[in-house]
A and B are shown apart, each in its own frame.
Chain A
Amino acid sequence: MPAVTETIDAVQSVTHSTYKYGFETEIDMDFAPKGLNEDIVRFISAKKGEPAWLLEWRLKAFALWKTMAEPRWAAVKFPPIDYQDAYYYAAPKKKDGPKSLDEVDPELLRTYEKLGIPLKEQAILAGVEGAGESPAEGRMPVAVDAVFDSVSVATTFKDRLEKEGIIFCSISEAVRNHPELVRQYLGSVVPQGDNFYAALNSAVFTDGSFVYIPKGVRCPMELSTYFRINAKSTGQFERTLIIADTGAHVSYLEGCTAPMRDENQLHAAVVELVALDDATIKYSTVQNWYPGDENGKGGIYNFVTKRGACRGARSKISWTQVETGSAITWKYPSCILQGDDSVGEFYSVAITNNWQQADTGTKMFHIGRNTRSTIISKGISAGQGQNTYRGLVKISPKASNARNFTQCDSLLIGDKCGAHTVPYIENRCMTAKVEHEATTSRIAEDQLFYCRQRGLSEEDAVGLIVNGFCREVLKELPMEFAVEAQKLLQISLEGSVG
């Protein structure tokens, strides 16, 4: 029974503190002065050697941000954030930027090793512990862009991808080497003034990944970015831009962790996806930022804007997210279905345990004809956690025969948590069909009894039932991620029963 043994081990290994990525790396860092003003924006831009148009773009965003107020409509509570009390730029000290993996600071490589993300080209993304040590037989390799605080430290498999004409690099590098692409698409899905956090990100974004898949190319491997917040009193503001040209296909994974600290750290990312005619983008996230301790102290504020535009006919964008970390999650990966026959998907599992709060969901904008969208959301609340699904399905008058199906299920474990569902349906098209269903329940006694009666501990039984509850979403994840996600679910719920 390897699966059971593994699960028990996993739970035992995290008896007191369940967060195993909470270590901090000792490394020399470059910081910008604390605080946020126009000079900091200029500093970041200069540090990255950006062209004038991008600095102007940032300054415009900063001007917009100053006029905006924090959104307060989400069902989350937190003390006011002092935006002046943080470093907006923190990067490991380096000479000219590593040309190859050999030049990367070994301390950094060890950090990623420890996180299960070995930055070696022959290795696979080690979702399963130990898998990185054995040869990756028959498995697809994964190209990784590793972002450490404010900068990308390494990108693997670049040469292999370049042969296919695929651009996969940090966004700073893309600004230098492919300015025309960045200029054309940056902010075209999430404009600078879109919302408070997106404006902040646009002003101070430091790094992130850039992907361009040319016409007709099917990306031969999974692309992935691993975000790590390490330094104290920093925020991470990364910007990811993925463009799939006509007929292109790409699957992209995103993972993230941070050290355990008593302070709350801000992570305000922006992700923009563009899919042209017949293109497909699959975007998977396993979000495992530090959630704070069992008393709700510390943890990441994860305020993220993710949006994809299905610009072309028959294009498809699929979001899959497993949200187990962060003290607060505020995140609504969305699809703008502009192209006729385009497809948007959103599969989500969100877990809140202890004092975590998650307000997450999606928006589906149906603009083109025959556009289809599917929303599957599974929320699990335990401890004192508060979990909200908030979603919008909007169908414009021209989106004839548009179709949406939404299912939101919530599971409550314990009587001190909350599960909330706030869907908005706005339909202005007669021929559109929209279906929404939502359920809220707890783990049934008979299910638990059935498992206990067969010798499973209560904790294992809950893990098993929760995994079953989330199955529809987990099966959308690439395999390595799915295994990691299942383990995370179990660990996240540790201490919630009994």
Chain B
Amino acid sequence: MSATGDIVTAGNALTEPGAAGFLQRYEGLRARFPGQRLPWLAARREAAAEAFRAQGFPTRRVEAWKYTDLAPLTQAGFGEALTSVDGALPLPRAAAPRRVVFVDGRFRADLSDPEAPVRNLADHLGAAEGLLGSLARTEDLPLVALNTAMFEDGALIDLAAGEDGGVVELLHVTLADRPVAVHPRHLVRLGAGAKLVLIERNWGHGEGRYLNSPVLEFEVAAEAHVTHARLQQEGKGGIHLSTVFARVAEGGTYDSFLLHAGAKLARSEAHVTLAGPKAAAHLNGAQLLGDGQHGDCTTFLEHSAPDCPSRQTVKTVLAGKSRGVFQGKILVDQIAQRTDGYQMNQALLLSDQAEIDSKPQLEIYADDVKCSHGATVGELDENQVFYMRSRGIPEATARSLLIEAFLQEAVEGVTDETARAALAEAVAGWWEKVA
């Protein structure tokens, strides 16, 4: 049974479209959100709702949203997730030995491995004070404000110094039989020298419209190491809008890989701060976009300590009438001398109806730095296709192989084998399915 089973839904009524609908829902649910007896949390939700009310959903006039239009979200109404769904759920094969499962934003103990070093947030909110909202800003990020106001549950991972959390799969399933809107909140804290491999998977069941808008916060202490592999495999009608915050202390590493494979409209935003000397960040990713899909990978990386390396390789493959967006900003503070920053984004256009918009951005205030970025856009090299066909490889296979080779460079950056295997499986054969 769900730990948050006390939330009762008001039938199948959908909210009115736009920010007003979400605010009405907030008003209606306010008294019943988990943790409302905690004064700090109630105040935080209230302030976040106010911040969302003041900002509304971002429009394309906002520079950071220039290329992503939220009309599919703002022009539709959404409903409440049903209290609990019992019985067998069609779940994807587990990607890691230990898995915890959330369905429609709520923890499912019956489907989760009790051995996993994960607690559900709704029942442990007392332990989240000082962690929840320590990184996630609401004043200029309306989606984060909305999540902070409305979250019902999420994962809480709090590893002590030196603890090895192993490989954990965090699976979030949305049942797309109703147009639900869910706002999971996941909090991860690694003590000094702790280790964790987190495979975060957002998976949609069904083809209907829904919104999954998670927010994740990572506090990575000195010398701690977290690998964060993200598989976005939402359903065909899904809207996925996620925001990740990470702060990395001295000598720590935040190593992430984002895969956008599903959803009709997906945007993943990452805000990473390298806060201590020699902290490192990898923000790699791949977007596989087929007909009708919109994928947006946006990152803000702030070097605010000296001697930090950062690496970013993001690849986008576009087929059919799809649109891909990459926005990557690297900010180097004046104090961040000897920064070594590298950013590469590449796009492969497989259709004459696809569009790629790319905005790599450097903002540098320190002089002893080595920062570079590159961007390329092109189509598959027909000579390479011909070379393979002339050796008896069918055209579809040849193209698929070349696309996989293109993506390989980004996936190779993932050092953990389990995470890499999960990504490789999600990428394999994509072209055959699309073509």
Contacts and interface: CB of A to CB of B under 8 A. Distances in A.
B363 A436 contact: no
B361 interface: yes
**Of listed B357, B358, B367, residue having the most chain A CB within 10 A:** B367
Contact of B368 (A73, A428, A433, A442): A442
Interface stretch (B72-80, B372-380, B419-427): B372-380
Nearest to A407: B374
A199 to B, nearest CB: 20
A441 B332 CA distance: 12
A421 B376 contact: no
B352 interface: yes
Nearest to A421: B362
Interface stretch (A174-182, A208-216, A408-416): A408-416
Contacts of B351: 430
Contact of A413 (B349, B367, B378): B367
A434 interface: yes
A399 to B, nearest CB: 11
A430 B350 contact: yes
Residues of B contacting A: mostly: strand
Nearest to A394: B357
A418 interface: yes
A419 to B, nearest CB: 5
A438 interface: yes
Interface string B111-145: 00000000000000000000000000000000000
A453 B213 CA distance: 60
Contacts of A435: 374-377
A415 B337 contact: yes
Contacts of B367: 412-415, 417, 442
Interface in B333-360: 334, 337, 347, 349-360
A42 interface: no
A295 interface: no
Contacts of B358: 423-427, 436
B386 interface: no
A422 B359 contact: yes
A434 B365 CA distance: 28
Contact of B378 (A414, A423, A424, A433): A433
A441 B366 CA distance: 9
A440 B362 contact: yes
B334 A412 contact: no
A425 B357 contact: yes
B357 A422 contact: no
A419 B354 contact: no
B339 to A, nearest CB: 9
Given A422-B359, A439-B372, A430 B364 contact: no
A432 interface: yes
Contacts of A73: 63
Contacts of B355: 426-428
A267 to B, nearest CB: 27
Given A415-B334, A427-B347, A427-B349, A437 B359 contact: no
A442 B351 CA distance: 41
A431 interface: yes
Contacts of A428: 354-355
B371 to A, nearest CB: 4
A405 B415 CA distance: 33
A436 B375 contact: yes
Interface of B: 63, 334, 337, 347, 349-379
19 contacts: A73-B63, A410-B364, A415-B334, A418-B365, A421-B362, A422-B361, A423-B359, A423-B360, A425-B356, A425-B375, A426-B358, A427-B358, A429-B349, A429-B352, A430-B350, A437-B374, A438-B372, A438-B373, A442-B369
